[in-house]
Amino acid sequence: MKYRSGFVTNSSSSSYIVAYKKIESAKTEKESTFLNKLYSTLMKGLFDYRIETEEDLVERILTLYGCDKLEDALKNEYVKNYYETTVELIRDGYVVAEREIDYNDFDTQGLIESLIDDDNIILLREV
């Protein structure tokens, strides 16, 4: 029997990339309802990272693709499409977020899939 030691990657996972509507803090404070607080807390805690501003997006792209300048990264057609789509969503009041989930984590997969309503929460990609 073979044993693996050291760092072992888990290739049996999938990533969900979603966009969800941000609840404006002023509105949340005025209408401090349980559901608004629950939504905000759930969305902040559910995802590995969130992109809320165009600056967050630029930082994420530069980090992921190892570029010093956005212009260099945008030479890649996939990155350019991702950037344009994400900027449009941010300007429309969405937060773009990603979560990597183990294939055996049916509860989290089911939770994310049940939240998708194609209006307030949109599934952009499942990898």
**For the chain, domain boundaries:** 14-126
Alpha-carbon gap, residue 55 to 126, rounded angstroms? 24
pLDDT at 31: 62
List alpha helices for 1-127, DSSP H: 25-30, 34-46, 54-65, 70-73, 77-91, 106-115
Count Cβ atoms below 10 Å from residue 97 Cβ, excluding itself.
22
Count Cβ atoms below 10 Å from residue 115 Cβ, excluding itself.
17
Q: Render each residue's pLDDT in the chain as its tens digit; 127 residues.
A: 433 333 344 457 788 889 998 776 545 555 668 877 888 888 889 999 899 999 999 999 999 999 999 999 999 999 999 999 999 999 999 999 999 998 889 999 999 999 899 888 999 887 5
Residue type, 4: R
Q: What does the chain come to in residues? A: 127
18 closest CA partner among 127, 104, 121: 121
Instruction: Quote the crossing angle between the two packed helices 106-115 and 34-46, to the nearest 10°.
Output: 130
pLDDT at 61: 95
